[in-house]
Amino acid sequence: MQNNKGDEMRLCENATIRTGLVLSRKEAPPDMNRHKYRMLSLKNVTDDGRILLAEVEDYYAAEALKCEFFTRDGDVLVRLSTPYSIVLIAEEEAGVLISSHFAIIRTAKAIDPRYLHWWLTKNRKRFYQMASGSTMMGTISSGYIADMTFDPPPLERQRQVATLLKMKNREQHLLSLLSEKKKKLIDATIKKITKKENPL
């Protein structure tokens, strides 16, 4: 649902939003001098917004590309087709070329990108509503994202939310590791017991 009320704040008032590079426009043929880059494609991003860095592919451009098309620490990317994955770029993920399958959001100083990442993830259902019945296989535009109503709390409260989310994610990660260790221990114990009961 786009903002039609003049007194409501839009996301574009708190961030710069653009679409990634249309790769076909800059791609170089094999027989010419080429610029090599690492490129983020749809298959390198999981549904829950994680980047599979080990699977990032090479891209060869006919010319040097502008820096605004490359990931930066704190960028928020939105996949423009289902499942509309929301990605928060970490420092180690910077410097990767972003294709036009993604919108690039770079926040103003008054917005914590970690808060925006959480907010977009929480409101991801809006993208499905916008794309419902679309003839473009469920695609949305960066313009739609820019026009989303967005009324963030003060920066300090955003940072409090971001800190709590970090604690939550760390706890979930540790619980997942513990669960996996328990599973392996139980499987090993069962194997040991059944081996004694059925000696070869």
1-12 tens-digit pLDDT: 444 445 688 999
Is residue 1 in a domain?
no
Is residue 3, in this structure, part of any structural domain at all? Answer: no
For residue 124, the one-letter residue type is R
51 lies in the same domain as 134: yes
Range of the domain at 61: 11-152
Query: Does 2 reside within a domain?
Result: no
Same domain, residue pair 86 and 24: yes
Q: What is the pLDDT of residues 81-132, one digit of tens each?
A: 999 999 999 999 999 999 999 999 999 999 999 999 999 999 998 898 887 5
Residues 148 and 191 in one domain: no
Question: With 60 as the cut, is the pLDDT of residue 167 above it?
Answer: yes
Q: What is the CATH number of the domain that holds 58?
A: 3.90.220.20
Number of Cα atoms under 13 Å in the Cβ half of residue 133: 2
Is residue 75 a contact partner of residue 106, using CB atoms and an 8 Å limit? yes
Which of 35, 17, 14 lies closest to 26 in space, CA to CA?
A: 35
- 131 and 143 in a single domain? The answer is yes
- Both 92 and 162 in a single domain? no
Total number of domains in the chain: 2
pLDDT of residue 137: 62
Q: Quick check: is 122 in a domain?
A: yes
Looking at residues 175-183, what average pLDDT do you find?
85
Average pLDDT, the chain: 88
Q: Which of the residue ranges 31-40, 82-91, 128-137 would you say has the lowest mean pLDDT?
A: 128-137
Per-residue pLDDT, 3: 44
- Say what the pLDDT of residue 191 is: 86
Please compute the mean of the pLDDT values over residues 168-173 and round it to a whole number: 76
> Within this chain, do residues 148 and 178 fall inside the same structural domain, yes or no?
no
Q: Pick the residue with more confidence: 52 or 6?
A: 52
What percent of the chain is predicted at pLDDT more than 90?
64
Which whole number is the average pLDDT over 151-162? Answer: 93
Q: How far apart are the C-alpha atoms of 200 and 10, rounded to whole Å?
A: 71
Structure tokens at 177: 């590791």
Span 170-189, average pLDDT:
84
- Judgement on whether residues 145 and 69 belong to the same structural domain of the protein: yes
